[in-house]
Amino acid sequence: MLGSVSTLLLSVSPARHLLAAEASSQFVAVRVWPASVYTRITIETTLPLKYSSFPLNNPERLVIDIGNAKLNEVLKTLPAKVLDRDPYLKQIRISQYTPDLIRIVLDLKTLVDPQIFTLSPVENFKNRLVIDLYPAVVNTVDDDPLMTLLQDYRHGDILSDGTTTPNARTNIPNNRVPLPDPEPLTDELGDKIKDILKQQKDTEKTNEKQSNKQSKKRKIIVVLDPGHGGEDPGAVGSSGLYEKDVVLAIARDCKKKLESNGYLVYLTRSEDVSIPLVVRVAKAREHQADIFISIHADSFYTPIPRGTGIFMRGINQASDEMVRYLEKTQNNADAIGGFQRVGNKKMMDTSKLNLMQTQTNKHSLKLGKALLQQFSKINKMHKHYVERANYIVLSAPDIPSILVETAFISNPEEEKLLASSSFRSKCAQAIADGIQTYVNQTPALKKLT
């Protein structure tokens, strides 16, 4: 309804502007997603935008001109959405530069490597103009490896199974001692940057204590992957509960529980940021993970289905309508989260990988069964076996990988469960206990405990 009101208002423009006004796009939503790895600005419109951009130095700025558009109340709210803790963005200024041109000036805190692109409508989103501000200089040794992986992803150097192409710029040595994730960041993001030197020192100390994968005694490495984030809320419950928030809370809790049991744990994201699916897999491989668990909350288009689901990679033999629906929604996360490049079709020798995959699948099944057993203590199970689906996030050929759909956020009863910290804590414990069971059954890992 709002859209038609605006159109009416615009139609009273002078005649010479009438044609342009009718064809011009309306701003319907604006968002800013500050994160340590990159900051994203999203401008959502009724029609695709025509834009151009250029940088200005001293001080650092990025100018974006939007053609054939009129500044409206929605776009005017953008400057107020910039947070002090944003690592890259100082402030935003907007003006109606000429009658048909809007100028947006981003005042930057540091030199950035911007990526600006448009996305076609998907799911609940209309047309999006996306401005991603990546750090201009990525130090591959000292920074969180996620930054490096995101850079590689942007350059097409990460394959759909999370492996990197031979010409990937990272050149990460095989025996690299993994870097720990920063602690969960909320309002302390600014402090994080100030503390980066201290963190590096701590990392060196930690690395001394931790032996890497080649040595006899090392810690078991678990990568937890809280689904969705940033632009991509995941499933949204009828009470307004966001999957991305629920699963991040579970992952953080589970990380603590596993760490207290002596595991080395990394999260694919520890803040509200959208990360491409293949980058999540690449991060697990980069950390040489022994175990990968992707954490989600299910949804369906009716409120009836309920129960925890445990998934491993594989062809769904049952041609189950729900699994097909879930595959589509899972793998659609990149489009919703706002990434243009979905997977990568570059060819490589897959025979070795296939062999590895067979072995990995056996372990995934064992891990899945262990999780199934634990979750059946705290919730109804959606199926009493490990389900199979072609989820991109489960595509690491060499890491036992499981996706846990903790409960159905689309089921009102289970949404209540997911909203409660006690159930989330039970989920975290079930994952930790399931991992422990799997480790106990796996001699190569058991000897590390």
Segments in 24-138 forming alpha helices (H): 73-76
Closest CA relative to residue 440, chosen from 193, 183, 261, 207 = 261
User: In terms of residues, how long is the chain?
Assistant: 449
- 50-58, 102-110, 170-178, 219-227 -> range binding Zn ion (CB under 5 A): 219-227
Segments in 287-342 forming alpha helices (H): 321-331, 333-337
Q: Does 227 bind Zn ion (CB under 5 A)?
A: yes
Classified as helix, coil or strand, 42 is: strand
Gap between the Cα atoms of 31 and 125, Å rounded: 12
Q: Does 135 bind Zn ion (CB under 5 A)?
A: no
Q: How far is the CB of 418 from Zn ion (least distance, A)?
A: 12
- 11-19, 107-115, 222-230, 365-373 -> range binding Zn ion (CB under 5 A): 222-230
Q: How far is the CB of 326 from Zn ion (least distance, A)?
A: 9
Pick between residue 131 and residue 404 the one whose CB is nearest to Zn ion.
404
Q: Return the structure tokens found at 13.
A: 């423009």
Q: Does 296 bind Zn ion (CB under 5 A)?
A: yes
Q: How far is the CB of 313 from Zn ion (least distance, A)?
A: 16
Q: How far is the CB of 227 from Zn ion (least distance, A)?
A: 4
Gap between the Cα atoms of 244 and 248, Å rounded: 6
Helices (H) and strands (E) in the chain, counts: 14, 14
Contact criterion met (CB below 8 Å) for 115 and 134: yes
Pick between residue 145 and residue 227 the one whose CB is nearest to Zn ion.
227
Nearest residue by C-beta to Zn ion?
296
User: Which is it for strands 309-313 and 387-389: parallel, antiparallel or unpaired?
Assistant: parallel
Q: How far is the CB of 248 from Zn ion (least distance, A)?
A: 12
Gap between the Cα atoms of 302 and 235, Å rounded: 13
Using CA atoms, how far residue 192 sits from 35, 189, 398, in Å, is 11, 5, 33
Return the DSSP state at 392: G
Helices 15-23 and 2-10 pack at an angle, to 10 degrees, of 150
- 58-66, 69-77, 94-102, 227-235 -> range binding Zn ion (CB under 5 A): 227-235
CB neighbourhood size of 174 (10 A): 8
* Per-residue contact string for residues 363-392; x = within reach of Zn ion by CB under 5 A: ------------------------------
Pick between residue 39 and residue 395 the one whose CB is nearest to Zn ion.
395
Residues whose CB is less than 8 angstroms from the CB of residue 423 and which lie 6 or more positions away in sequence, other chains included: 378, 407, 417
Q: How far is the CB of 295 from Zn ion (least distance, A)?
A: 9
Pick between residue 145 and residue 309 the one whose CB is nearest to Zn ion.
309
Residues whose CB is less than 8 angstroms from the CB of residue 240 and which lie 6 or more positions away in sequence, other chains included: none
Residue from 234, 309, 368, 397 binding Zn ion (CB under 5 A):
234
Pick between residue 234 and residue 397 the one whose CB is nearest to Zn ion.
234
Pick between residue 162 and residue 234 the one whose CB is nearest to Zn ion.
234
Q: How far is the CB of 234 from Zn ion (least distance, A)?
A: 4
User: What single-letter amino acid sits at 241?
Assistant: L
- 16-24, 231-239, 306-314, 423-431 -> range binding Zn ion (CB under 5 A): 231-239
Sheet holding 112-119, edge to edge: 27-33, 39-45, 127-135, 112-119
- 66-74, 196-204, 277-285, 290-298 -> range binding Zn ion (CB under 5 A): 290-298
Q: How far is the CB of 15 from Zn ion (least distance, A)?
A: 50
* Helix (H) / strand (E) containing 61: strand 61-67
Q: How far is the CB of 243 from Zn ion (least distance, A)?
A: 5
Pick between residue 73 and residue 321 the one whose CB is nearest to Zn ion.
321
Q: How far is the CB of 229 from Zn ion (least distance, A)?
A: 10
Q: How many residues bind Zn ion (CB under 5 A)?
A: 3
| Radius of gyration, CA atoms only, the chain | 23
Question: Is the peptide bond between 173 and the residue preceding it cis, with omega within 30 degrees of 0?
Answer: no
Q: How far is the CB of 284 from Zn ion (least distance, A)?
A: 17
- 64-72, 103-111, 228-236, 368-376 -> range binding Zn ion (CB under 5 A): 228-236
Pick between residue 129 and residue 284 the one whose CB is nearest to Zn ion.
284
Q: Return the structure tokens found at 433.
A: 């206990």
Pick between residue 227 and residue 276 the one whose CB is nearest to Zn ion.
227
Pick between residue 272 and residue 398 the one whose CB is nearest to Zn ion.
272
Residues that bind Zn ion (CB under 5 A): 227, 234, 296
